[in-house]
Amino acid sequence: MGLSPLQVQVLSSALKLSMEFTYKNILFYILIILAIAAAFAVLLRLFPKVKERTLLPSEKFMPSATIAGVKVNLEMAITPAEKAQGLSNRKSLPEDTGMLFVFDNKATPGFWMIDMHFPIDIIWILNDKVIGIAKNAQPELGKRPMDLKRYYPPEAINYVLEVNAGFTDKNGIEVGDSVIFNL
């Protein structure tokens, strides 16, 4: 059973129409995608992304403490991991900056100079008063942990502030001074 010439012509025309229709569909969808992309680009120009302004160092909040009228910027050691790391393996501490160790409950923690590279003053604080100062604690590089000197507060405390050695003498900080925290 064969197709008549008329049937072949009809099928051929239908196939040709179908292919034209497919090309027209593809072209139509491409034009729609381009139109959407162009509209999106126009909207982006009309509503540019709001740039976040970089804050100047003076505009950033930095926790601080004021002791005897002297402001100390604070780096915080709150978690057990932060307390264990402390200032170890650092080459220096910025001037007028200290690391504040915060204890939820009053404690008598021992501090050592493990992996320290610079001397510090250790200020023992109970609530809002300086109750002790260990001045000029020296690094003990090369010593085994069991041989390192331990520094303890004179009584239970809830804050320890480590600052550069000589900071307390330079700024006249003494036992009994008030501490105002801005955390």
Global confidence as pTM: 0.68
State the pLDDT at residue 51.
Answer: 58
| CA distances, 66 to each of 97, 115, 131, 172 (Å) | 11, 28, 15, 13
Of 19-23, 98-102, 142-146, 148-152, the range with the lowest mean pLDDT is 19-23
Please state, for a pLDDT cut of 70, what percent of the chain lies above it: 75
> Is 133:173 a contact under the CB 8 Å cutoff?
yes
Count the Cβ atoms, other than its own, within 10 Å of residue 126: 17
Count the Cβ atoms, other than its own, within 10 Å of residue 109: 15
First vs last C-alpha separation in the chain: 95
pLDDT > 60? residue 58 = no
Q: Quick: pLDDT tens for 127-151.
A: 999 999 999 999 998 899 999 999 9
Q: Quick: pLDDT tens for 119-129.
A: 999 999 999 99
For residue 167, give the nearest of 114, 96, 110 by alpha carbon: 96
| CA distances, 150 to each of 27, 90, 122, 138, 153 (Å) | 79, 19, 12, 11, 10
